[in-house]
């Protein structure tokens, strides 16, 4: 039988496996791609990173991001956060002032690096209220004592900086007066003693007065009760004391000592359980002595508990826990004290029936930053393993290691047992490497990256790689996961979220309320119900109060109806079908607080030409500016805006709105422009925004061309009544990078 002719060399080469890329080139290309993916993700996910608090020298550390807030009430058991009292402060448009009132950023701003503030104590002197607190220096990793002063009953605070700095850690600055002197007894347990300092230039300069006790006490306080001075503190030096927080008591006829040990030390509560550590200054209310303690709450650290002291004598002590309820923050990480609190100081204001309290709080649990770093590194590690696996599958990386690396050494040993152990260990290593090499030979080159079927596998693996990279980037560089508010001049505030809807859009409303009620600065959500059966409270899942305002007439003018029940200066008008991040809302709120006389929003438009023609955002960007902000997503001063809208001069404009069932936001822009010769609009670019009406099919303006035509008609009519709009405002003119 004749032999078959040899195959052409060209055909033979075509059927050969395509050469795999080299390992260095593969690794370089893969890592470069993942790096670009991480950078792109961080730009989209963290548009305001780093947060302004971080850029001002305030970086929360592994112990948390503690800050301090002020509370007021008719009694120490009816305290409410300061924002509930509706107290306003003109500078920074803080209407109302909201907690927290002191943060690490405030301390850093006056030249003292700080990573958190905690353990605040109040000291009232005349019309001034002083706050002393621990501030941790991130450079020395040491606690110092800082102070602030308020001249308006705790509404605003002026930072005085660090007032006591030693070579060791200081905290828990309990301040009291005795005779004509003012004393401070901070925790200095690192030195193993309890020291007392006296003010020589209150509140800025202190000097050591004496050592009260030769014990490493923490959370110590002194209280005068029934003719004696009582010192209460916890000694954590004994075995297991850090878990139990054993409470000890001493008594004396003077706060300067000498101190006598209580016979029941350490103090036990009901059931022979250790008593809770001090969590603030004891107080007297209705002739009863109450002690503030802090108890462990599982993973959340400590929580505040009030104890009523039933007996306190030289040989007897008994206390019972009493109900103490503060408004529990429901916004979790988006609330400044959403995770934990462990300190409270309450005092009665002079010549007043009101009480003031100051509490510390943290939005994250202890060790949160370490946890996020660990999880992020795990995601990055998984991505690296997957990169190596993919390299082996396509043949770019050879998964073989030489066995000679793991042969036993032949040097002489005096100890035969050591030689046997080394041989056994090398044998186990050799077995492991043999199995790794066997696995490498099994997977090596199994995927042909030029075949379409195998390219699908590669695409899936690359997608998993990108997801792992995004997750790792989010955990490591995404901060603590909170969408925090932005302070103005160190002050925080709140706003009311207002939306107008009807029964066919109830699906949108449920998502709207559940999402936006978590935002840090949202005080209340007002739903203007224009048509159909109004929802009841139980149908909406919200973390803030929701008020349903049912209207008798279905008109767009209801959006700006004067509402005296609104408790904030700012109102965020937001359509219920627009979803954006809480950080976008917080950035817009910050810009409005800087320009409270303007309409600040997220959707710019341009009206120009003769006659005026309504143009979209793309056209506005091409022309380099805008002069209209849509009020379907905009901040405004509700008293200013609503009064202008419902003025007699605007009556004909409201009639035009009703006739077209459109243009209410255009009318408001004209009314603002008519009242000022300067710019009246400000644009904030959202990181992302989704129009949910595209999914629900209940959009009011489905025909864009017809919608714009009606708005151009409105422009022509309004310009004839109210004059022209303000001149075009350029993008990227504010300098904060949020209006590009």
Q: Is 665 a catalytic residue?
A: yes
Q: 102 forms bridges with which residues in the sheet?
A: 68
Q: How crowded is the C-beta side of 520, counted as CA atoms within 13 Å?
A: 27
Two tokens, residue 492:
């925080």
Q: Distance between CA 201 and CA 224 in Å, rounded?
A: 25
Three-state SS sequence of 277-307: EECCCCEEECCEEEEEEEEECHHHCEEEEEE
Sign, CA dihedral 353-362-523-639, equals positive
Chain mean position to CA 309: 37
Q: Is 737 left (phi over 0), alpha (psi -120 to 50) or beta?
A: left
Strand, helix or coil for residue 29? helix
Q: Where are the alpha helices (DSSP H) in 595-682?
A: 617-623, 638-645, 651-660, 664-674
Two tokens, residue 369:
């930053």
Two tokens, residue 738:
């949020």
Q: 302 forms bridges with which residues in the sheet?
A: 296
Q: Which of 665, 691, 736, 739 is catalytic?
A: 665
**What is the number of other CB atoms lying within 10 angstroms of the CB of residue 100?**
27
* Long-range contacts, 348-354 (Cβ 8 Å, 24+): 349/124, 349/153, 350/124, 353/74, 354/72, 354/73, 354/74
CA–CA distance from 111 to each of 76, 148, 169, 384 (Å)?
35, 14, 19, 42
End-to-end Cα distance, the chain: 81
Two tokens, residue 328:
């529990």
Two tokens, residue 151:
């001249």
**What is the number of other CB atoms lying within 10 angstroms of the CB of residue 353?**
8
Sign, CA dihedral 376-377-378-381, equals positive
Two tokens, residue 21:
């890329």
Active site residues: 665
């Amino acid at each position: 039988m004749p032999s078959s002719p040899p195959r052409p060399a060209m055909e033979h080469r075509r059927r050969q496996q395509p050469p795999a890329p080299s390992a260095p080139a593969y690794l370089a290309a893969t890592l470069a791609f993942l790096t670009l993916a991480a950078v792109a993700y961080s730009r989209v996910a963290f548009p305001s990173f780093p947060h302004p608090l971080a850029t001002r020298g305030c970086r929360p550390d592994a112990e948390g991001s503690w800050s301090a807030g002020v509370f007021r009430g008719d009694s120490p058991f009816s305290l409410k956060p300061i924002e509930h009292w509706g107290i306003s402060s003109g500078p920074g448009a803080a209407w109302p002032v909201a907690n927290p009132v002191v943060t690490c950023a405030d301390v850093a701003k006056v030249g003292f690096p700080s990573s958190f503030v905690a353990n605040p104590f109040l000291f009232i002197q005349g019309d001034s209220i002083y706050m002393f607190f621990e501030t941790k220096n991130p450079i020395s990793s040491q606690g110092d004592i800082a102070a602030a002063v308020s001249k308006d009953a705790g509404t605003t605070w002026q930072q005085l900086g660090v007032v006591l700095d030693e070579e060791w850690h200081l905290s828990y600055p309990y301040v009291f007066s005795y005779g004509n002197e003012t004393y401070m007894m901070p925790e200095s347990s690192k030195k193993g003693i309890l020291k007392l300092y006296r003010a020589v230039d209150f509140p800025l300069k202190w000097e050591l007065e004496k050592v009260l006790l030769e014990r490493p006490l923490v959370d110590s306080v002194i209280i005068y009760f029934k003719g004696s001075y009582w010192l209460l503190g916890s000694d954590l030096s004994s075995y297991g004391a850090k878990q139990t927080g054993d409470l000890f008591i001493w008594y004396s006829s003077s706060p300067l000592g000498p101190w006598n040990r209580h016979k029941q030390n350490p103090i036990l509560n009901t059931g022979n359980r250790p008593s809770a550590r001090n969590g603030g200054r004891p107080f007297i209310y209705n002739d009863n002595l109450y002690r503030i303690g802090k108890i462990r709450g599982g993973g959340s650290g400590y929580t505040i508990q009030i104890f009523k002291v039933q007996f306190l004598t030289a040989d007897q002590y008994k206390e019972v826990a009493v109900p103490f309820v503060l408004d529990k923050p429901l916004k979790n990480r988006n609330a400044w004290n959403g995770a934990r609190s462990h300190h409270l100081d309450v005092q009665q204001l002079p010549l007043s029936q009101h009480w003031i309290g100051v509490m510390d709080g943290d939005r994250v649990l202890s060790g949160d930053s370490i946890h996020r770093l660990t999880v992020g590194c795990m995601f990055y590690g998984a991505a690296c393993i997957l990169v190596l696996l993919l390299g082996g599958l396509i043949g770019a990386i050879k998964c073989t290691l030489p066995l000679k690396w793991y042969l036993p050494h032949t040097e002489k040993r005096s100890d035969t047992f050591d030689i046997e152990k080394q041989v056994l260990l090398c044998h186990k290593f050799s077995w492991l490497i043999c199995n790794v090499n066997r696995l490498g030979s099994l997977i090596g080159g199994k995927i042909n990256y030029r075949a379409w079927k195998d390219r699908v596998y590669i695409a899936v693996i690359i997608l998993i790689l990108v997801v792992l990279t995004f997750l790792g980037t989010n955990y490591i560089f995404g901060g603590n996961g909170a969408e925090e508010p932005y302070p103005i001049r160190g002050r925080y505030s709140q706003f009311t979220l207002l939306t107008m809807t009807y029964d066919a859009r109830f699906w949108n409303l449920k998502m709207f309320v559940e999402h936006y009620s978590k935002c840090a600065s949202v005080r209340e959500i007002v739903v203007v119900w224009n048509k159909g059966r109004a929802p009841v409270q139980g149908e909406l899942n919200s973390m803030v109060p929701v008020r349903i305002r049912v209207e008798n007439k279905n008109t767009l003018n209801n959006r700006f109806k004067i509402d005296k029940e609104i408790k904030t200066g700012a109102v965020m008008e937001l359509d219920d079908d627009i979803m954006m991040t809480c950080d976008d809302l917080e950035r817009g709120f910050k810009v409005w607080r800087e320009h409270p006389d303007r309409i600040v929003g997220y959707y710019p438009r341009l009206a120009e030409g003769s006659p005026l023609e309504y143009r979209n955002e793309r056209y506005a960007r091409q022309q380099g500016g805008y002069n209209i902000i849509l009020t379907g997503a905009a901040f405004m001063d509700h008293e200013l805006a609503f009064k202008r809208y419902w003025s007699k001069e605007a009556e004909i404009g409201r009639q035009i709105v009703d006739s077209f069932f459109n243009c209410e936001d255009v009318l408001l822009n004209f009314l603002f422009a008519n009242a000022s010769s300067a710019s009246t609009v400000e644009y904030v670019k959202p990181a992302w925004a989704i129009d949910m009406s595209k999914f629900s099919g209940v959009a009011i303006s489905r025909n864009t061309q017809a919608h714009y035509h009606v708005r151009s008609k409105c422009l022509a009519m309004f310009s004839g009544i109210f004059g022209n709009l303000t001149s075009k405002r350029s993008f990227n003119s504010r300098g904060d990078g949020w209006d590009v």
